Amino acid sequence: MFDYLQSNYVFRCMFLQHPEEQSMTYFEHLKHACFYGIQSLGCSLAFIVHGFIPCLFEKTGSTIVQHLHNQLNKTKKEKTN
Q: Determine the Cα angle at 20 with ends 17 and 25, to 5°.
A: 110
DSSP assignment letter at 54 = T
What pLDDT, on a 0 to 100 scale, did the predictor assign at position 72? 87
What pTM, to 2 d.p., does this model score? 0.74
Sign of CA dihedral 29, 30, 33, 38: negative
What's the pLDDT band for 50 if we cut at 50, 70, 90? very high
* Domain count along the chain: 1
How much is the mean pLDDT over the chain? 89
How do residues 11-46 score in pLDDT, each as one tens digit? 888 899 999 998 999 999 999 999 999 999 999 999
Yes or no: say if 39 and 68 are a contact pair by the CB < 8 Å rule: yes
What's the pLDDT band for 81 if we cut at 50, 70, 90? low
- Tell me the residue range of the domain where 75 lies: 2-80
* CA of residue 5 relative to chain centroid, distance: 30
Amino acid at 74: K
d(CA 81, CA 7): 35
